C-alpha cells in the first residue's frame, strides 16, 4: 500500500529506551501525548487500551482550542469572513482525509460521528435501496457489534438474511468458505480490516477482489487499521471504508466514511435536514450533491479540525519504523505473556496488529482488569463488543492489551508484573 508521502522526521535511536528498536524515538513521541505522563494509583500510567480509544497528541488538543479561539462559526452558511474561515478549515480536513485514505476525490469523503455511524449510513441507505427478500448480507465471524447489528436491523426490515464467514481457532477467516458464501443472493460484504478483539489483519485486497468478481460491493470497517498502518482505498479497491477519529489519535465524535462516488451517488440520503438540500418546498426537496447529501445538520466542525491535526501528525511519522516497532511490541509482549503460567492467548493469527487478547486460567477477565489497574496498567476486559467471538472461543470475556506506537517494551513488562499480582490475590 502507498506510503502517503509520509516523511521521516523521527530517526534518532533512543539509548535510554531499550524498548525502541533503533529508528523510532518512542520517548520523543510519548512527550507529544500529555496524558501519558500521569500516574495512576501512585504508579506510572501504562495505557494499553488503545483499541478502545487512543490518546491525543498536543497538536490535536491545541488545534481544537485554536479553532474555538480564532475560527468558530457555522460552515457553508455565512457570507462573512469568519464563516469562510471555518468552512475552509472544515473542507480542508476533507481534502486531508482524502489524501490520508488515498481516495480519488474529496467528495468521496463523508464526515460521520465514527465508524459505527459510517456502517449505519451504508446499511440504512444502501440496504434500503438494494436489499430484497431472500437477499443476503455477508459479514465475518470476527465483526464488532457495530458491523453486525446495523446489518441485522436492515435485513430484518427488508426480509434479507445475514450470513457469516467462519474463522479458524487462530482467528483467521476461512477463505474457502468465504468464496462459497459469495453467491447471487449476496448484495454486500461487510468486513473488518483489523479485528479489535483478536488483532487479526484480514486480507482485504484479496477478499474485495473475490467479491468484485461477482459484482458484489464491499464495506470495510477500518477503525482498528487506521492507527496501525497506511490505508489506500484505491489499492484495496473497496467500495466503502470507514474510520473513527478517536482511534487514530484524533477526537471522539468524528470519523470518515469513504465511498466510491458512483456508489454514493446511487444512494439516497441517510438523514434529512439542513446542509444536505438544494431546494426545499413543502411539496418536494431536492438533495445536495456529494458529500453534502450525507451531512445533514451542523457537523462536528471542531472535531474535524482535530481529526485534521491527527492526520497531519500521522503523516509526519515514519511508518516503516512504526510498523517495526509495533511488530516488536507484539512479539515481545506475546512471548512474555505466554511465558506466564495459566495465561492463554486468544487470537493467534499469522498476520496481526499489536492487539493481544488473553485469559488467565481460573480468574475472570474483569477481576484481572481491576487488579492490574491498581498497578497503573489500563487494559480492557470484557467481550469488546464482539460477543460472537467470545462464544466461538468459549470464553465469557478476555483481557486485552492493545499497543500503540507510543507504547514500549517496559509497558509490556509492567503488564506482566501486574499479572503476577493477580496470582497473588487469587492464588
Partner 1 sequence: MSDLTELYQQTIIDHNRTPRNFKKVDDANRVAQGNNPLCGDRITLYLRLDGDVIRDIGFQGSGCAISQASASLMTGAVQGKTKAEAEGLFRAFHDMVAGGANAPADPKSLGKLAAFAGVRQFPARVKCANLSWHTLKAALAAAAEPVTTE
Which chain residues interact with partner 1 by CB under 8 A? 41, 363-367, 370-371, 374, 381-383, 390, 396-397, 421, 424-427
Q: Is 7 exposed, middle or buried (0-12, 13-18, 19+ CB in 10 A)?
A: exposed
Helix or strand holding residue 239 (H, E): none
Closer Cβ to partner 1, 332 or 426, answer by number: 426
Closer Cβ to partner 1, 381 or 407, answer by number: 381
Least gap, CB of 388 to partner 1 (angstroms)? 13
- Ramachandran category for residue 203: left, alpha or beta (phi over 0 → left; psi -120 to 50 → alpha): beta
Least gap, CB of 45 to partner 1 (angstroms)? 17
Selected catalytic residue, list 385, 395, 413, 417: 385
CB-CB contact of 233 with 100 (8 Å):
no
CB-CB contact of 233 with 331 (8 Å):
no
Long-range CB pairs of 276-283 (<8 Å, 24+ gap) are none
Q: How far apart are CA 302 and CA 299, in angstroms?
A: 9
CB-CB contact of 142 with 199 (8 Å):
no
Least gap, CB of 37 to partner 1 (angstroms)? 23
Least gap, CB of 426 to partner 1 (angstroms)? 7
Closer Cβ to partner 1, 184 or 391, answer by number: 391
Least gap, CB of 348 to partner 1 (angstroms)? 22
- The two most distant CA atoms of the chain are separated, in Å, by 72
Least gap, CB of 378 to partner 1 (angstroms)? 12
Please give the span between the terminal C-alpha atoms of the chain, in angstroms, as a whole number. Answer: 48
Catalytic residue check, 385: yes
Strands (E), 293-408: 343-346, 355-360, 377-378, 380-382, 398-402
Closer Cβ to partner 1, 236 or 422, answer by number: 422
Name the 3-class secondary structure at 232.
Answer: coil
CB-CB contact of 221 with 115 (8 Å):
yes
Closer Cβ to partner 1, 183 or 370, answer by number: 370
Closer Cβ to partner 1, 390 or 419, answer by number: 390
Alpha helix (H) residue ranges in 131-255: 149-158, 175-181, 204-213, 233-236
Catalytic center residues: 385
Amino acid at each position: 500500500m502507498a506510503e502517503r508521502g509520509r516523511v521521516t522526521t523521527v530517526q534518532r535511536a533512543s539509548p535510554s529506551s531499550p524498548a525502541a528498536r533503533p529508528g523510532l524515538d518512542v520517548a520523543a513521541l510519548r512527550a507529544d501525548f500529555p496524558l501519558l505522563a500521569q500516574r495512576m494509583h501512585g504508579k506510572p500510567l501504562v495505557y494499553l487500551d488503545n483499541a478502545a480509544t487512543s490518546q491525543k497528541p498536543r497538536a490535536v488538543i491545541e488545534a481544537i482550542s485554536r479553532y474555538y479561539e480564532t475560527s468558530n462559526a457555522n460552515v457553508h452558511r455565512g457570507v462573512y469572513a469568519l464563516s469562510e474561515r471555518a468552512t475552509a478549515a472544515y473542507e480542508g480536513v476533507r481534502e486531508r482525509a482524502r489524501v490520508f485514505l488515498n481516495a480519488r476525490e474529496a467528495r468521496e469523503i463523508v464526515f460521520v460521528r465514527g465508524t459505527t455511524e459510517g456502517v449505519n449510513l451504508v446499511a440504512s441507505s444502501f440496504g434500503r435501496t438494494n436489499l430484497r427478500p431472500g437477499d443476503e448480507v455477508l459479514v465475518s465471524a470476527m465483526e464488532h457489534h457495530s458491523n453486525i447489528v446495523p446489518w441485522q436491523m436492515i435485513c430484518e426490515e427488508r426480509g434479507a438474511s445475514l450470513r457469516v464467514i467462519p474463522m479458524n481457532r487462530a482467528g483467521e477467516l476461512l477463505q474457502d468458505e468465504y468464496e462459497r458464501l459469495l453467491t447471487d443472493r449476496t448484495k454486500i460484504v461487510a468486513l473488518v480490516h483489523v479485528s479489535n478483539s483478536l488483532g487479526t489483519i484480514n486480507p482485504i485486497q484479496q477478499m474485495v477482489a473475490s467479491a468484485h468478481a461477482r459484482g458484489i460491493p464491499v464495506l470495510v470497517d477500518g477503525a482498528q487499521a487506521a492507527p496501525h498502518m497506511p490505508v489506500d482505498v484505491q489499492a484495496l479497491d473497496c467500495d466503502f471504508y470507514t474510520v473513527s477519529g478517536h482511534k487514530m489519535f484524533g477526537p471522539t465524535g468524528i470519523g470518515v466514511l469513504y465511498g466510491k462516488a458512483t456508489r454514493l451517488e446511487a444512494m439516497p440520503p441517510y438523514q434529512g435536514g439542513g446542509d444536505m438540500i438544494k431546494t426545499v418546498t413543502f411539496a418536494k426537496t431536492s438533495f445536495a450533491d456529494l458529500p453534502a447529501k450525507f451531512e445533514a445538520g451542523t457537523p462536528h466542525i471542531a472535531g474535524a479540525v482535530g481529526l485534521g491535526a491527527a492526520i497531519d501528525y500521522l503523516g509526519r511519522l515514519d511508518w516503516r519504523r512504526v510498523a517495526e516497532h509495533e511488530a516488536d511490541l507484539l512479539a515481545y509482549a506475546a512471548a512474555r505473556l505466554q511465558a506466564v503460567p495459566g495465561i492463554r492467548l486468544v487470537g493467534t493469527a499469522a498476520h496481526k496488529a499489536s492487539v493481544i487478547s488473553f485469559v488467565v486460567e481460573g480468574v475472570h477477565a474483569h477481576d484481572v482488569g481491576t487488579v492490574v489497574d491498581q498497578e497503573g496498567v489500563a487494559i480492557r476486559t470484557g467481550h469488546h463488543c464482539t460477543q460472537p467471538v467470545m462464544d466461538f472461543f468459549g470464553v465469557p470475556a478476555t483481557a486485552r492489551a492493545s499497543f500503540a506506537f507510543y507504547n514500549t517494551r517496559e509497558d509490556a513488562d509492567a503488564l506482566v508484573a501486574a499479572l503476577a499480582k493477580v496470582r497473588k490475590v487469587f492464588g
